[in-house]
Amino acid sequence: MAEQINYYRILGVPRSASQSEIKAAYRRLAKERHPDHSGGSETEFSQLQEANAVLSDPNRRRRHDEALDLAHAADQLAGLNLDFGSLDDEVSRKRREREERGTSEGGPSLGERLRNRFRKEEPEEPSARRSEPSSGRGRYRGAPAREASWYQPQDFDPEPITWRSGALSFFGALIAFLVVGQIGLWATGLNNPPAVLDPGVTALGPLMFVPYTLVGLLAAYLAYRAAGWAALALVFVAALVVGGSGGPDGLLQFVTLGIVLLLIVVYLGNRRDERSRRR
């Protein structure tokens, strides 16, 4: 193909691939080719980011498809083996496929595309910058923004866990559990609270299951968003360490409940996404 990069080929998906198929292919390949992963490549990882950014945007994907068609036509012209009738049929067929794909996926209709051609196009966003190592600690700049909202943890795309992200997840959760555990000891009367906090903190005794659960849920949420399931397991280990070493009664149980609540949200979100894809 004449000097034209094919983002579909980089992601290993056909041109008729849906957005969910593109997203799944990007996630799978990004984890395999991340520079921190064994056998990963910074150049290939950067190309995956750029391909995902282009194909995830309907307007940029349309322009990319047209560029591929033009490059294909240029190749045929260069070979002096062009059949104008078949070329016109080929371009028309691919255009119809794009229109049908856009309609089936809820994309812009043919009328909207025609109207957009007469509007002043907005300047195209610069393509994703090449990943640059940040202080050599395994995090890379230039990654596309997460598509998931904060309330959609099932769509998070965390980076592979590293020593840094694992340590932050474990020790961050450990400190949070120690703090809320100390408050629980004061609230239940097992330790004498500072004078400035007494008697207000003792009134929290019957309600300490609420902060235990919330802290467990928040620690699990942040760890899962940062480094996935492995970091979530480290949060549970931190809960075992604090709950099994003199922590207040109920701390381990309700922190675990917070972690389980996150797992339930992720499970239900995946089920909902699966049902929507089948429709």
**What is the per-residue pLDDT across 68-123, written as a single tens digit (0 to 9) for each?**
888 887 777 766 554 556 656 666 777 777 767 655 555 555 556 555 655 544 44
Q: In this structure, how many other beta carbons lie within 10 angstroms of the beta carbon of residue 26?
A: 23
CB 164 within 8 A of CB 138: yes
Which stretches of 105-245 are DSSP H helices?
110-117, 163-187, 209-243
For domain 7-117, which CATH number applies: 3.30.200.20, 3.30.70.20, 3.50.50.60, 1.10.287.110? 1.10.287.110
Dihedrals φ, ψ of 94, to 5°? -65, -35
What does the alpha-carbon distance between residue 194 and residue 132 come to, in Å, rounded to a whole number? Answer: 48
pLDDT range class, residue 35, cuts 50, 70, 90: confident
Q: Which of 115-119, 128-132, 148-152 has the lowest mean pLDDT?
A: 128-132
What does the alpha-carbon distance between residue 231 and residue 171 come to, in Å, rounded to a whole number? Answer: 11
What does the alpha-carbon distance between residue 52 and residue 63 come to, in Å, rounded to a whole number? Answer: 14
**Selection from 208, 203, 200, 232 nearest residue 219 by Cα:** 232
pLDDT at 152 > cutoff 90: no
Q: What are the tokens at 120? A: 């002043």
CB 41 within 8 A of CB 33: yes
Over residues 207-243, the pLDDT tens digits come to: 888 988 999 899 999 999 888 888 889 999 988 888 7
pLDDT range class, residue 140, cuts 50, 70, 90: very low
pLDDT at 134 (0 to 100): 41
What does the alpha-carbon distance between residue 162 and residue 230 come to, in Å, rounded to a whole number? Answer: 10
Secondary structure letter of residue 140 according to DSSP: B
Terminus-to-terminus CA distance in the chain, angstroms?
A: 36
pLDDT range class, residue 271, cuts 50, 70, 90: confident
pLDDT range class, residue 180, cuts 50, 70, 90: confident
What percent of the chain stands above pLDDT 90?
A: 15
CB 74 within 8 A of CB 2: yes
pLDDT at 220 (0 to 100): 92
